[in-house]
Amino acid sequence: MSELHRNSVTAVAAGLRARRFSSVELVRECLARIDRYQGALNAFISVTREQALREAEEADQALAAGTAGPLTGVPLAHKDIFCTRGVRTSCGSRMLDNFVAPYDATVVRKLRAAGAIMVGKTNMDEFAMGSSNETSYYGPVRNPWNTALVPGGSSGGSAAAVAARLVPAATATDTGGSIRQPAALCGITGMKPTYGRVSRYGMIAFASSLDQGGVLAESAADAALLLREMAGFDAADSTSVDRPVPDYVAALEQPLAGVKVGLLKEFFDKGLEPENEQRIREALRIYERLGARLTEVSLPYLPLSVPVYYVVAPAECSSNLARYDGVRFGHRCENPRDLQDLYRRSRGEGFGAEVKRRIMTGTYVLSAGYYDAYYLKAQRVRQLINADFIRAFQGVDVLIGPTTPTPAFELGAKTADPITMYLNDIYTIGANLAGLPAISVPCGFVRDLPVGLQVVGPHFSEARVLQVAHAFQRETDWHRRMPQGYA
């Protein structure tokens, strides 16, 4: 096996352009690595072998002809939440095990237009509901750093695939931390853009007001390169925002001197493991050395993020998942007796336990007599959290803190108690509630397991967030570290 997999997206794109290797070679290597490690990691739900090889040949022709786009020939994986025309799009659920999407999500379409090649669809928590990738109908994904541990979730398949260098990058989605938390637990970089920056069209909805597509890759530089292609207004998504997409790559090298960094007081709480905190403090010293000005910032409403999230997200999901009724697509029970039986058994069989739990929670909080007490109150607190962030950003350019309280945990460790599982997203949910761009970058190890540093910026400050992350990655090589056995 060659060393091609050790290349970042940036290096792969450059190597292809320079014709140092071909797209077919690259794709073959990805497919070979997927074959080799799928048994151990279970990172993929579908591998699109023939299609990928065919597209790689076309890419090589385009590269030879000089008609290549910015990502021509670069292999990628898509989280199985993005609809891909002619390819099963399961969303990690039995409900959609038989669903072949008749169209491409906007993100898929844009990346294809830029020349990227899909090699497969990655495993995920069912309908993106989970923080450990244990709710997938296709079985749990394992963490390449230690296969007894979870990779995080819900984008666990994308994170494990990138961490094990099965693909140089993968798309992902983040509703409460589903990009950043697995990035932290797998030792890679995960970027969630501002809500509305990337089209949600064709991205199967979990919680529409929180869902945002993004990317998992080795570095902030790679994330910048991919996001530049993924971002932008889409008339098919009314919540996407019509403003120009800056050149994120060009903005990376801006000097950091004078940048004001806020330390989120609420993130350094008693739930944060001391060693994990130490890694963050060490990272902050690097930022100081680079000329950033550090101040402590307090967001008093932020600790309410988790309860607010677990009202709003289930409420939206209870409605979003009503379309899976066994009538038009997806799982349908055998021999329904009548309409109610069709609904009950199709949904009962098609959905897993965590999805059902959230549908029931969401149905409850929207019910007559409870709406005001739960849904409406949660939305009000959400406004307050948003206002907290906006106030904080009047004084600082970015906020920095940990991505997760602890490194990766064992499979099954938290499945019995949903609340402890939910608390794993305590530092990431705030950015979703406020719709802010945020990135997680590897910042060291705790007990030989990677941990992540999180950078959160004001709305549409992706360029700044990426720049701050990139500055750290120029000084460190944590993001270059690969798990043993996959190097």
In which residue are the tokens 């076309």 written? Answer: 58
Q: Choose among 400, 473, 441, 439: nearest CA to 214.
A: 439
In which residue are the tokens 């932008």 written? Answer: 232
Please list the active-site residues: 79, 154, 178
Out of 367, 373, 380, 390, the only residue in the binding site for other proteins (CB under 8 A) is 367
| Identity of the residue, 204 or 421, whose beta carbon is nearer to other proteins in the bound complex | 204
Under rule CB under 8 A, residue 204 binds other proteins: yes
| Identity of the residue, 201 or 287, whose beta carbon is nearer to other proteins in the bound complex | 201
* 146 DSSP β-pair partners: 143
Between 23-41 and 9-17, two packed helices, what is the crossing angle to 10 degrees? 150
Out of 138, 201, 248, 472, the only residue in the binding site for other proteins (CB under 8 A) is 201
| Identity of the residue, 181 or 240, whose beta carbon is nearer to other proteins in the bound complex | 240
Q: Which stretch binds other proteins (CB under 8 A): 16-24, 58-66, 313-321, 402-410?
A: 313-321
Give DSSP secondary structure letters for 255-269.
Answer: --TT-EEEEEGGGSS
Under rule CB under 8 A, residue 315 binds other proteins: yes
The phi, psi pair for 271, rounded to 5°, reads -75, -15
Out of 285, 323, 337, 391, the only residue in the binding site for other proteins (CB under 8 A) is 323
Out of 239, 254, 383, 386, the only residue in the binding site for other proteins (CB under 8 A) is 239
Q: Which stretch binds other proteins (CB under 8 A): 248-256, 322-330, 412-420, 473-481?
A: 322-330
Under rule CB under 8 A, residue 366 binds other proteins: yes
How far apart CA 90 and CA 97 sit, in angstroms, is 5
Token pair recorded at residue 380: 């009000």
Cβ–Cβ under 8 Å, residues 280 and 453: yes
| Identity of the residue, 38 or 319, whose beta carbon is nearer to other proteins in the bound complex | 319
How far apart are CB 137 and other proteins at their closest, in Å? 15
How far apart are CB 367 and other proteins at their closest, in Å? 6
How far apart are CB 135 and other proteins at their closest, in Å? 18
Q: Environment class of residue 295 by beta-carbon count within 10 Å: exposed (0-12), middle (13-18) or buried (19+)?
A: exposed
How far apart are CB 373 and other proteins at their closest, in Å? 14
Under rule CB under 8 A, residue 375 binds other proteins: yes
Under rule CB under 8 A, residue 99 binds other proteins: yes
| Identity of the residue, 242 or 477, whose beta carbon is nearer to other proteins in the bound complex | 242
Under rule CB under 8 A, residue 368 binds other proteins: yes
| Identity of the residue, 174 or 266, whose beta carbon is nearer to other proteins in the bound complex | 174
How far apart are CB 327 and other proteins at their closest, in Å? 5
How far apart CA 136 and CA 386 sit, in angstroms, is 32
How far apart are CB 375 and other proteins at their closest, in Å? 6
Cβ–Cβ under 8 Å, residues 69 and 111: no
How far apart CA 174 and CA 193 sit, in angstroms, is 9
The phi, psi pair for 111, rounded to 5°, reads -70, -35
For the chain, give the longest Cα–Cα distance.
70
Running DSSP on this structure, what letter comes out for residue 299? -
How far apart CA 234 and CA 239 sit, in angstroms, is 9
Out of 9, 101, 119, 408, the only residue in the binding site for other proteins (CB under 8 A) is 101
Under rule CB under 8 A, residue 233 binds other proteins: no
Between 23-41 and 49-65, two packed helices, what is the crossing angle to 10 degrees? 150
Out of 36, 69, 100, 103, the only residue in the binding site for other proteins (CB under 8 A) is 103
Under rule CB under 8 A, residue 105 binds other proteins: yes
Please state whether beta strands 260-264 and 398-402 pair in parallel, antiparallel, or not at all (unpaired): parallel
The residue type found at 467 is Q
How far apart are CB 196 and other proteins at their closest, in Å? 10
Question: How many C-beta neighbours within 10 Å does residue 303 have?
Answer: 14
Can the peptide bond before residue 2 be classed as cis, meaning omega within 30 degrees of 0? no
Q: Which stretch binds other proteins (CB under 8 A): 10-18, 237-245, 248-256, 402-410?
A: 237-245
| Four-point Cα dihedral 321, 327, 332, 336, nearest 10 | 120
Under rule CB under 8 A, residue 205 binds other proteins: yes
Give DSSP secondary structure letters for 410-459.
Answer: BTTSSTT-HHHHHGGGTTTHHHHHHT--EEEEEEEEETTEEEEEEEE-ST
| Identity of the residue, 148 or 376, whose beta carbon is nearer to other proteins in the bound complex | 376
Q: Which stretch binds other proteins (CB under 8 A): 54-62, 360-368, 427-435, 458-466?
A: 360-368
Under rule CB under 8 A, residue 91 binds other proteins: yes
Q: Choose among 185, 177, 189: nearest CA to 144.
A: 185
Under rule CB under 8 A, residue 487 binds other proteins: no
How far apart are CB 98 and other proteins at their closest, in Å? 12
Under rule CB under 8 A, residue 316 binds other proteins: yes
| Identity of the residue, 249 or 385, whose beta carbon is nearer to other proteins in the bound complex | 385
Query: Which residues of this protein are in contact with other proteins, per CB under 8 A?
Result: 82-83, 89, 91, 96, 99, 101-103, 105, 200-205, 207-209, 235-239, 315-316, 318-319, 321-323, 325, 327-330, 339, 343, 363, 366-368, 371, 375
